[in-house]
Amino acid sequence: MKFDSRYQEDNYYMKKALELAKLGIGAVNPNPLVGCIIVKDGKVIGEGYHMKFGGPHAEVNAINSSKEDIEGATVYVTLEPCSHFGKTPPCADNLVRHKVKRVVICNNDPNPLVAGNGIKKLQNAGIEVTTGILEKEGLKLNEVFFHYIKNNKPLVISKTAISMDGKIATKHMESQWISNESCREMTHEYRNKYMAIMVGINTVLKDNPSLTSRIKNKKARNPIRIVIDTNLKIPMNSNLVNDNKSKTIIFTCNNDLKKINLLKEKDVDVHICPKKEEGVDLNFVIEKLGELKIDSVLVEGGATLNDSLFRNNLVDKVKIFMAPKIIGGKDAPSFVSGCGIEKLSEATKLEIKNTTMIDSDILIEADVIK
């Protein structure tokens, strides 16, 4: 490859490294997605990515893939090489040992165990370091990791499918299907990408969902299933209790030891929570999920849970699939119900980041303004 400038070359290889990093989606949480490309004399001599939580880091996989000596090479890596002994030894030391010439980095690692120390180690060894190449793309790719490592709490993404008048079902509660098939396929991608999925007990009682990730021609990882169930009403014969397709965790205020033990026998975890107004204290839940090392939660409703999460300012991102249909009816539920707010000034405010046509539907992606 011939390049007009070093900047152009750096961008080209970093883009490739970011593409590699994406291959880890669904397999590395709560670790970051990281890709690495090794270039020597204008030729790619090694590439790798972080493939699995607890597994070798991207740099190690790239080094191991190279059939040539990487001394004097330029290493493109989407995250600052680590400087700590974690599940694997420090990547920065590894690169120093291999005497690479230059390291090009997309994002600095905010993990307090690293936070600039990886870069320092490289520079102290006389390796040239360039940072911030395609930084914005990297921040987007690893938005879950960056949020989690800074806040110790999961990124909370509220996803819903609505009609143009904001309904999630008819007055007879018929909801399958409001959005088109492509949108539904995207939902399964989200279930693979985000580490956990959360629903309220009413959704379990009404639909008996399995909340798994089913993607055509791809092996998907099922999310950890979280149920907000204030009175511990979950039926013992529900799919979430019986199917063993992924862990189920219940948050409740009911200390019914007999039922809790029966659920434990089914490998379902139950956390007793403080009660707040209408039910389970959701601030407690989100903090607990952070402690459990869950980096992201996809909320799939229903309307009451959505209302509690929005009113407690616990949602970070919203993904709304809007279908070109009008349902109407005062008894047809909307995406957010519960008790709502009194004044318009208390409304949750969002910043729309993207609108995309998905065949006949629209996907609106927005961030909650905190």
- 110-149: b or e for each residue (b if 16 or more CB lie within 10 Å)? bbeebbebbbebbeeeebebeeebbeebbeebbbbbbbbb
Is 59 annotated in the active site?
yes
Q: Which does 109 bind (CB under 5 to 8 A by kind): ligand AOF, Zn ion, none?
A: ligand AOF
Q: Rule CB under 6 A: say whether 109 interacts with ligand AOF.
A: yes
Q: Rule CB under 6 A: say whether 327 interacts with ligand AOF.
A: no
Q: Rule CB under 6 A: say whether 47 interacts with ligand AOF.
A: no
The 86-105 site mask, x for binding Zn ion (CB under 5 A), equals -----x--------------
Q: Are strands 317-322 and 155-162 parallel, antiparallel or unpaired?
A: parallel
Q: Report the residue number, 110 or 166, with the smaller CB distance to ligand AOF.
A: 110
What number of chain residues touch Zn ion (CB under 5 A)?
3
Q: Report the residue number, 34 or 286, with the smaller CB distance to ligand AOF.
A: 34
Q: Which residues contact 172 (CB under 8 A, 6 or more apart)?
A: none
Out of 59, 68, 181, 291, pick the active-site residue. Answer: 59
Q: Which does 31 bind (CB under 5 to 8 A by kind): ligand AOF, Zn ion, none?
A: ligand AOF
Q: Rule CB under 6 A: say whether 58 interacts with ligand AOF.
A: yes
Q: Which does 48 bind (CB under 5 to 8 A by kind): Zn ion, ligand AOF, none?
A: none
Residue from 18, 39, 57, 201 binding ligand AOF (CB under 6 A): 57
CA distance 237 to 243: 10
From 2-10, 27-35, 122-130, 212-220, span contacting ligand AOF (CB under 6 A):
27-35
Residue from 31, 37, 47, 57 binding Zn ion (CB under 5 A): 57
Q: Report the residue number, 15 or 276, with the smaller CB distance to ligand AOF.
A: 15
Q: Are the C-beta atoms of residues 263 and 233 closer than 8 Å to each other?
A: no
Residue from 9, 14, 31, 317 binding ligand AOF (CB under 6 A): 31
Q: Rule CB under 5 A: say whether 225 interacts with Zn ion.
A: no
281: its two tokens: 């204290």
Q: In the complex, which residues of this chain contact Zn ion (CB under 5 A)?
A: 57, 82, 91
Residues annotated catalytic, as ranges: 59
